[in-house]
Amino acid sequence: MADDLLSQIRLNGAVPRHVAVIMDGNGRWARERNLPRPLGHRAGMKAVREAVEGALEAGVEVLTLFAFSEENWQRPAAEISALMQLLEEYIAREVAELRHQGVAVHVLGDRTRLAPGARAAVERIERETYDGARLALNLCISYSSRGELARAARLLAEEVLKGVKRLEAGECRLSNFLLWQLAYTELYITPVLWPDLTRRDLFQAILDYQGRERRFGRITA
Ligand code: FPP
């Protein structure tokens, strides 16, 4: 149980609106147990539920999870296919509960590279949860921050060329995952391997955040 940490979070007050997590350590978790890597990913899938529950309980508005990077396409075909199968399984298993809990799922990344089954599953979960109002869950799949920047810059250039957008400062708002937001983002590094994550760890991170002084480049009086 993690109620003690949750009570402390509530006493402290401000909860971060957006928590973004690199789900790292599935491979090491499996190796520590002499298990094949895909079993680490499977255990990681369970931790996703734990993180979602924790975010809902703490009142986080946006939870962004890095599930599969563009670089991950270079992993062995068997691991990629195990991950894609897990993605489909996750969606089939979770969609009803996420919808029930008011979670809106958005998938970020280059979905054109996904196999048809995985792509259909991704579209399904977005469609069936779109009106969730309690938590936005961003799943980054086939995602890279550089790719996102390049795509955004290309789209912007196209809109400027078409005359849809003018090249004036302050007019452009480009969505991005982390590179830009990281400028003043509070980072919290945990030694916990992703499959071992519990809501206690999420709550510890929030408590750590609450203990920091956010100055955004200024100094305090
Ligand atoms: C990185 O750990 C993790 C991944 C590449 C996959 C993350 C996937 C999941 C947590 C499960 C599926 C999630 C969803 C939303 C269906 P790693 O393999 O690099 O671990 P290591 O650094 O210990 O080798």
- pLDDT of res. 181: 63
**pLDDT surpasses 80 at 183:** no
CATH of the domain at 184: 3.40.1180.10
Q: Which one is predicted more confidently, 127 or 174?
A: 127
Domain-located, residue 67: yes
Alpha helices for 130-180 (secondary structure H): 145-162
For position 221, what pLDDT does the model report? 56
Residue 180's pLDDT band (cuts 50, 70, 90):
low
Q: Is the CB of 41 under 6 A from ligand 1?
A: yes
Instruction: Quote the number of domains for the chain.
Output: 1
In a domain, 15, yes or no: yes
Residue 107 lies in a domain: yes
Q: Is residue 163 included in any domain, yes or no?
A: no
Q: Which of 24, 32, 42, 124 to mutate to test the pocket of ligand 1 (most atoms within 8 A of CB)?
A: 24
Distance of CA 46 to the CA centre of its chain: 15
In the residue annotation, 72 being an active-site residue is answered as yes
180 part of a folded domain: yes
Higher-confidence residue of 127 and 161: namely: 127
- Of all protein residues, whose CA lies closest to atom 10 belonging to ligand 1? 44
Residue 216, domain member (yes or no):
no
Atom 5 of ligand 1: nearest residue by CA position: 68
164 occurs within a structural domain? no
Q: Give the separation between CA 221 and CA 72, rounded to whole angstroms.
A: 46
To the query of whether residue 138 is one of the catalytic residues in this protein, the response is no
- Residue 212's Cβ-side half-sphere holds a number of Cα atoms within 13 Å equal to 16
Structure tokens given for 159:
């809109």
Give every CB contact of residue 11 below 8 A, 6+ residues apart in sequence: none
State the pTM of this model: 0.79
Domain boundaries, position 106 = 2-143+173-210
Atom 13 of ligand 1, nearest CA residue = 45
Per-residue model confidence as pLDDT tens digits over 75-95: 889 989 999 999 999 999 999
Place of tokens 């396409």: 73
